Amino acid sequence: MVDHAVFDNAPADLVIPALAPLYERIAQPMAWSLFRLAIGGMLVVEGWPKIIAPFAQVGFVEGIGMHPGWFWSPFLAGLQFFGGMFIVAGLLTRPVALANAVMLAITLWFHHAHPYGDAFLTQAGIDALKNNGQELFTPAAVARLADGGSRFLEQVQVKAELASLFWTGGAFLFAAFGGGYLSLDRRLFRKSF
């Protein structure tokens, strides 16, 4: 059991006690709000293509066992896009962040369980690249695909996993602690979720 608040700034516990008001009134509210903006904002950005094509993910969601896809594809698109807006505003933060955290945890599992693969190109593709690469591909593409795209796909895989881990952790953090200082939850509701 914790015997003090998570964001406690008791002057007696600080190396520089005079900084307690700065932490409480400026640093913590700003940091919490900016992080909430980043987590919610990225959900909005990543959710936008899904909102404009809500049934585009039907096959994908059914492929990971979520049936019926015609329900889950638009539901998850809305959860991501509108949920991101709610998180940015700090409105209904805990339940919306929890729902998104679960969705993001599934995304993290998917990226880990279904890696992008070893290469883009077969050996025949690599040979064609070597023979005609200067005519068909830009120099940057030739450099990225010289090994069939293995190193490039490895970088994409690592970035997908790390990004999913970051957004999942951030969403769970807001599910646990709420919208914080500068949130609509704090302004509109007398009780916390």
Structure tokens at 75: 């539901």
Torsion angle, alpha carbons of 34, 39, 45, 50, to 10: -160
Write down the pLDDT at residue 6: 61
In a domain? residue 193: no
Question: Per residue in 25-52, pLDDT tens?
Answer: 899 999 999 999 999 999 999 999 999 9
Rounded-to-integer distance, Cα 39 and Cα 89, Å: 11
pTM score: 0.83
* Residue 28 lies inside a defined structural domain of this protein: no
- Asked if residue 9 belongs to a domain, the reply is no
Report yes or no on 23 lying in a domain: no
Classify residue 8: in a domain, yes or no.
no
CA angle (42, 181, 188) in 5-degree steps: 95
- Helix, strand, or coil (residue 26): helix
Q: Which residues of the chain are under the pLDDT cut of 70? A: 1-6, 133-134
For residue 152, give its domain range. 34-188
Residue corresponding to tokens 């070597």: 130
The rounded distance, in Å, linking the Cα atoms of 193 and 164 is: 25
First to last CA, the chain: 21
Please give the pLDDT value at position 134.
66
The answer to whether 42 and 36 are in contact (CB under 8 A) is no
Exposed, middle or buried: residue 177 (CB in 10 Å: 0-12, 13-18, 19+)? middle
Residue 4 falls within a domain, yes or no? no
pLDDT at 2: 45
- The answer to whether the Cα torsion of 122, 59, 40, 192 is positive or negative is negative
Number of domains the chain is built from: 1
